[in-house]
Amino acid sequence: MLRFIKHNLASIDGVEIYPIISLLLFFLVFIAMIVLVIKLPKRKIDMASQLPLENDNNSKEITHE
């Protein structure tokens, strides 16, 4: 199956740049997420970590019958 893909890609001019672009894009997004998490205030992290544990008295209880 891989030879079918390699055969089709070999006929495209400049195809060798696409893996480099995709790797750079992956690392840029990865580094951006790390920077975002590091800069996030600890107060917001603590608040978000408690969200699943909070009781919401205004919500309707879902029952499965």
4: pLDDT strictly greater than 60: yes
Domain residue ranges of the chain, discontinuous segments joined by +: 2-41
Helices marked H in 1-65: 2-10, 17-39, 42-50
| Ramachandran bin of 14, using left for φ above 0, alpha for ψ from -120 to 50, beta for the remaining angles | left
Angle in degrees, CA 42, 46, 50, rounded to 5: 170
User: Where does residue 33 rank: exposed (0-12), middle (13-18), buried (19+ CB within 10 A)?
Assistant: exposed
Q: What is the pLDDT, as a whole number, of residue 12?
A: 79
pLDDT category at 11 given cuts 50, 70, 90 is confident
pLDDT tens sequence across 31-62: 999 999 999 999 988 888 888 776 666 555 56
The answer to whether the predicted template modeling score (pTM) of the entire model surpasses 0.75 is no
